[in-house]
């Protein structure tokens, strides 16, 4: 009599689960980086005493482009007004 190989114990099933974990981890890390850049941008402006209008806060909090958020973090360090996040060259 041969042993039944249950699907969840099958090597293919294990491989699929591992790939899912890796993909989930990568997505989670990216989302964490995005969220930290959002918070950092707004926090720098707050620390510098620069008021942030609701429209600007919403634009920063809804951005999902990590490169754009990195740019805004750098601009926040030198900005004199929160709108300069979007207009500085």
For residue 61, the surrounding DSSP H or E stretch is helix 54-62
State both tokens at 27: 């997505």
Q: What is the mean pLDDT of residues 85-89?
A: 76
Query: What's the pLDDT score for residue 71?
Result: 94
Q: What is the pTM for the complete model shown?
A: 0.68
The answer to whether residue 54 scores a pLDDT higher than 80 is yes
Cα 86 → chain centroid: 19
Per-residue pLDDT tens digits for 8-47: 566 666 776 676 676 766 677 788 889 999 999 999 999 9
């Amino acid at each position: 009599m041969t042993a039944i190989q249950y699907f969840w114990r099958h090597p293919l099933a294990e491989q699929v689960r591992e790939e899912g974990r890796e993909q989930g981890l990568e997505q989670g890390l990216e989302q964490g980086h995005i969220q930290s850049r959002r918070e950092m941008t707004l926090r720098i402006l707050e620390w510098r005493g620069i008021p942030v209008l609701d429209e600007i806060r919403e634009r920063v909090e809804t951005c999902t482009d990590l490169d754009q958020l990195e740019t805004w973090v750098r601009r926040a360090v030198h900005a004199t007004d929160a709108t300069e996040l979007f207009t500085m060259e």
